[in-house]
């Protein structure tokens, strides 16, 4: 005997299936909607703003290279906080930008910034300083070649640690060592390691030379940077002409290289004044979504007894940075023809 099947069961099952499908599609739509939301949309409340400001003030007072300036910044931030100037800011990027602007009105330190992270910053991990860290695996050597048979060209965009670039620098200098003159282009340079700055400069001097001093507030000690006695590549030597192309996008360690080569009278700088950031920086976590780049050290040239903070490196030959390569090449060709 065959069982009777109620067709309403199919209808009911069909409705349930349609409901499940509809809910699934709705969940996909919501997921897609949240995925398309701007990454900086972490809604801030008063407690989050207060936590970030309190920690920022504490870290500035503990680490900023100029303690008296840190106190002035604290006074300004507390006054603005008391006056409710931050109360209406619910966007993380805007809040970080406002704090950075307020600090700059006192210190005008190019490396000092508050940064927002849409991803949660774990307390047990140091936040990365995106201002100065070169991309992983990159040598910072963007181009090596010759403009003429006798004029070499080297373009640099960063100074990664020596362990990553020593071999590359040796190869580059072996390639360029037989040129009569060299143009080094740092017009788009993000910064990097002062040890690598010293390593590269070592190829352009004939004897051991003290290049730069960096004083650390945290340790209270000064570290001296000297050229290397032993190199893996061929020295370019201390006499052949070197031109450095620089401009407003030349920053941090790129400025260190440019300033030191100029101070040594080892290179002629052509272009525009550089960015103007001479204070090495460290990053400090402020809260789950904010961290601060705070300069905790100060560069000081043993040659000039000052640095390039705020002023940038002034070119020996001023010209729009877009024209700097042509100016340098023409000058070297005229010098070569006059020999």
Rounded mean pLDDT for each run of 10 residues along the chain, 339 residues in total: 40 44 42 44 88 98 98 98 96 97 95 93 67 60 97 98 97 98 97 97 98 97 97 98 98 98 99 97 94 97 97 98 98 90
Report the 10 Å Cβ neighbour count for 293: 21
Q: Are 293 and 280 in contact (CB under 8 A)?
A: no
Q: Tell me what pLDDT residue 23 has.
A: 41
Give the C-alpha separation, 333 to 246, whole Å. 20
Same domain, 75 and 152: no
Residue 328 in domain:
yes
Total domains, the chain: 2
Residue 2 has what DSSP assignment? P
Task: Classify 158 as helix, strand or coil.
Answer: coil
Q: Are 315 and 261 in contact (CB under 8 A)?
A: no
Q: Which domain holds residue 81?
A: 46-116
Residue 16 in domain:
no
Bridge partners, 292 (sequence order): 114, 284
Q: Tell me what pLDDT residue 126 has.
A: 66
Residue 312's region, left for phi above 0, alpha for psi from -120 to 50, else beta, is: left
Q: Tell me what pLDDT residue 1 has.
A: 42
Same domain, 157 and 272: yes
Q: Tell me what pLDDT residue 194 has.
A: 96
Single pTM value for the model: 0.82
Same domain, 102 and 172: no
Give the C-alpha separation, 140 to 168, whole Å. 10
Name the strand (E) or helix (H) holding 147.
strand 141-148
Same domain, 194 and 321: yes
Percent helix, strand and coil across the chain, each to the nearest 5: 40, 20, 40
Structure tokens at 157: 């965009």
Q: Tell me what pLDDT residue 41 has.
A: 66
Q: Tell me what pLDDT residue 35 has.
A: 42
Same domain, 78 and 151: no
Same domain, 146 and 272: yes
Same domain, 204 and 263: yes
Q: Tell me what pLDDT residue 120 has.
A: 86
Same domain, 151 and 267: yes
Helices (H), 64-138: 67-82, 92-104
Q: Tell me what pLDDT residue 128 has.
A: 57
* CATH number of 323's domain: 3.90.226.10
Give the C-alpha separation, 197 to 178, whole Å. 22
Report the 10 Å Cβ neighbour count for 104: 14
**Of 233, 239, 247, which Cα lies nearest the Cα of 328?**
247
């Amino acid at each position: 005997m065959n069982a009777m099947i109620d067709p309403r069961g199919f209808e009911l099952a069909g409705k349930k299936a349609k409901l499940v499908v509809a809910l699934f599609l709705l969940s996909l739509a919501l997921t897609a909607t949240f995925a398309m939301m701007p990454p900086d949309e972490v809604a801030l409340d008063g407690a989050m703003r207060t936590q970030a400001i309190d920690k920022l003030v504490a870290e500035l007072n503990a680490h900023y290279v100029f303690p008296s300036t840190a106190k002035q910044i604290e006074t300004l931030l507390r006054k603005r906080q008391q006056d409710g100037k931050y109360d209406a800011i619910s966007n993380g990027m805007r809040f970080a930008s406002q704090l950075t602007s307020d600090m700059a009105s006192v210190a005008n330190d190019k490396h000092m910034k508050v940064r927002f992270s849409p991803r949660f910053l774990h307390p047990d991990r140091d936040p990365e300083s995106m201002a100065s860290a070169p991309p992983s695996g990159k040598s910072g050597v963007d181009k090596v070649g010759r403009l003429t048979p006798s004029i070499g060209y080297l373009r640099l965009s960063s100074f990664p640690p020596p362990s990553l670039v020593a071999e590359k620098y040796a190869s580059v200098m072996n390639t360029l060592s037989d040129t009569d003159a060299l143009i080094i282009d740092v017009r788009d340079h993000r910064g990097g390691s002062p040890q690598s700055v010293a390593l590269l400069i070592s190829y352009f001097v004939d004897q051991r030379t003290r290049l730069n001093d960096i004083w650390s507030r945290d340790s209270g000690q000064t570290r001296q940077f000297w050229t290397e006695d032993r190199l893996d590549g061929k020295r370019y030597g201390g006499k052949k002409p070197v031109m450095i192309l620089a401009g407003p996008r030349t920053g941090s360690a790129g400025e260190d290289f440019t300033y030191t080569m100029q101070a040594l009278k080892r290179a002629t700088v052509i272009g525009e004044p550089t960015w103007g950031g001479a204070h090495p920086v460290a990053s400090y976590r402020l809260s789950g979504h904010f961290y601060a780049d705070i300069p905790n050290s100060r560069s000081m040239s043993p040659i000039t007894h000052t640095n390039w903070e705020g002023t940038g490196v002034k070119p020996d030959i001023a010209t729009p940075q877009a024209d700097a390569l042509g100016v340098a090449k023409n000058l070297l060709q005229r010098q070569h023809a006059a020999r």
